[in-house]
Chains A and B, each alone.
Chain A
């Protein structure tokens, strides 16, 4: 109820009631609206550029990882260990990546 009364009061005392905007004002408002839209368009273009750049970077990183995975891993080298047990027995042990009995 209060809102209805308030609306009615504002309409009764509206200083612009029954008036039309001057041509300059119309042009000024139109220019302001259009320039705002243009700014938003630029903003979209920048966002799209960043998104594309991020996508390209991500794709590049993924491709690099795939290439690294596909490349043959360096073969572990055959190793030989010499040691002596507390009991005095000497052991010479070969650790061979290709060993099989």
Chain B
């Protein structure tokens, strides 16, 4: 199992919401370094917790709806059992980490990297110009984070 897991998630048919899965596609095209695995998902489902178990680091990539369109942010995540998404078939990343810690004893170091979208109308894997520009900056942040030592902080 690779030490680092990248999960890009979002709907491929809701405009800039596709930025997470598209980021994963770009990363795979460029070639991932040893020890890094990347997967794309529509939403964070409960069974993803088995993918987190045993990893040292997980990086979530998602679109954000709030703030200035195009803004890229990196957040450190902690397990949060109270971050109930109240949804039966998709979870909040902090909730997923809490599931991992509760069921498998520990959760990986985790980061959430977001890019604020400009348009979430129907469009199949097609980003707005603002989000397209943000995608490159998001990928730079991903490469920074996967290069961190275990005790590094943002």
Partners in one complex: no
Residues of B in contact with A (beta carbons under 8 Å apart)? none
Residues of A in contact with B (beta carbons under 8 Å apart)? none
